[in-house]
Amino acid sequence: MTTPDTYRRATRGAALSMPSLRRIAVITVHTSPLAQPGTGDAGGMNVYVLQTAKELAARGVEVEIFTRATSSADPASVTAAEGVVVRNIVAGPFEGLGKTDLPSQMCPFTAAVLREEANHAPGYYDLVHSHYWLSGQVGWLARDRWSVPLVHTAHTLAAVKNASLADGDTPEPLARRAGEQQVADEADRLVVNTADERTALQHYYGADPAKIDVVAPGADLAVYHPASKHAARAALGFGANETVVTFVGRIQPLKAPDVLVRAVAEILRREPGLSLRLVIVGGHSGTAEQSYSLVRLAHQAGIADRVTFLPPQPSAQLADVYRASDLVAVPSYSESFGLVAVEAQACGTPVIAADVGGLGVAVNDGVTGTLVNGHAPGLWAQTISELIHDHDRRARYAAAAPDHASNFSWSHTADGLLRSYDRALSRTALSPVLAGADRLRSRVTDLALRRQRNNRTVERAAAQR
């Protein structure tokens, strides 16, 4: 791998050995990797950023993660693991800003990121990796200022979400769509979760396929693995003979937990004596609680006593929820990958998932779970009911699930990211960065002129005294 210093020398025609990647800046503006997934805007992206940072640090690459502080109690920096530092940037009020309000805070956030780099010698960061379009806007400016490549992961795309909106959901704004287009055009590499997402980037944003890398996310297989179902049920207070169907995720229309409430209600209308429990694990996202109440829906459907609501769970406790479940359902309208599906399968639990986005990769249809083509509650009721009563098929799915999930470890993800970083740093992929070398030389010249002006000012002041 190569560093920006190598490129500056390369532009002078020097033939040098290539040093290793040393340090990267990771930008994740709207949600901290330290936040509990399932609360507010925290979700799979938080898990992705933190887990990949740990994997990269374990391989000797220092990772500094820049995120927006959301509390006055947030320290300026937190060591999340050896070699991983999270920097909490103060940009706007700590509370009361939703994701759609954050574009107004990009200037102070970006300024703080650039100032952090300015505390070090040029070339302190070898590469910028931004997550989500807001972060891509910051990363784009940092790339130009620091003369290093920008790698960007969108995680979700406005055009894809708007093409598959849930009833009553709000379309993503034009500003986001335009911002994503800018970042797709400017980034040196684009990392996507699946081949389908690569196709979406090309179709909706005209992205150059030559700069897109497919890198699947993973699961922490040291945490998510098969263990005693009986012990997990006892710990959670579930009945030994209950059939448990579980949803894990943010409570919002996009994730479609309401489809499951309606589906379970339909199953119980047909089979009122069935010992069936729906478990919903997660918190409300944004202002969804007022307009999207699953508690109210469960009461209206007459199944409030059959639905258990749990708050977002730390990973060790979440693993027990998966193990205690007979099925995990992922009915999302849009999903770039679906970490929940992989985590559940890693614990030996079959998955029923909507056949959208990356879920077709995360779930091996007919082997570790079932993909559902649509979101009609009746269709989901039929699919869930069939699996509930087909014990042999469910057992086959459960047996095959951990082996399938083993293909999606964070170690594999880190391997893919390092290959993408290497391409970003390669000379053939870095025409924008080579041009950036001139910008860096201009910056050094500007700093020198500024020092000269400051020295003259000091000299004049001394002469006047």
- Which residues fall in the annotated binding site? 30, 36-37, 41-46, 99, 132, 156, 176, 250, 255, 313, 322-323, 325, 335, 343, 349
| Contact (Cβ atoms closer than 8 angstroms) between residue 186 and residue 128 | no
Q: Which DSSP symbol is given to 128?
A: E
Secondary structure class of 14 (helix, strand, coil): coil
Q: Which amino acid, 355? A: D
**How many Å apart are CA 447 and CA 452, to the nearest integer?**
9
**How many Å apart are CA 435 and CA 305, to the nearest integer?**
64
Residues within the annotated binding site for Mg(2+)? 322-323, 325, 349
Cβ neighbours of 128 (radius 10 Å): 30
Residues within the annotated binding site for UDP-N-acetyl-alpha-D-glucosamine? 36-37, 44, 250, 255, 313, 335, 343
Q: Token pair of 231, please?
A: 């012990």
- Cα distances from 9 to residues 12, 18, 283, 437, in angstroms, run 5, 11, 51, 10
Pairing of the two strands 77-81 and 84-89: antiparallel
Q: How would you list the strands of the sheet with 327-330, edge to edge?
A: 307-310, 276-281, 243-248, 327-330, 351-354, 369-372
Long-range pairs for 293-299: beta carbons < 8 A, 24 or more residues apart? 294/251, 294/257, 294/258, 294/261, 297/258, 297/261, 297/262, 298/261
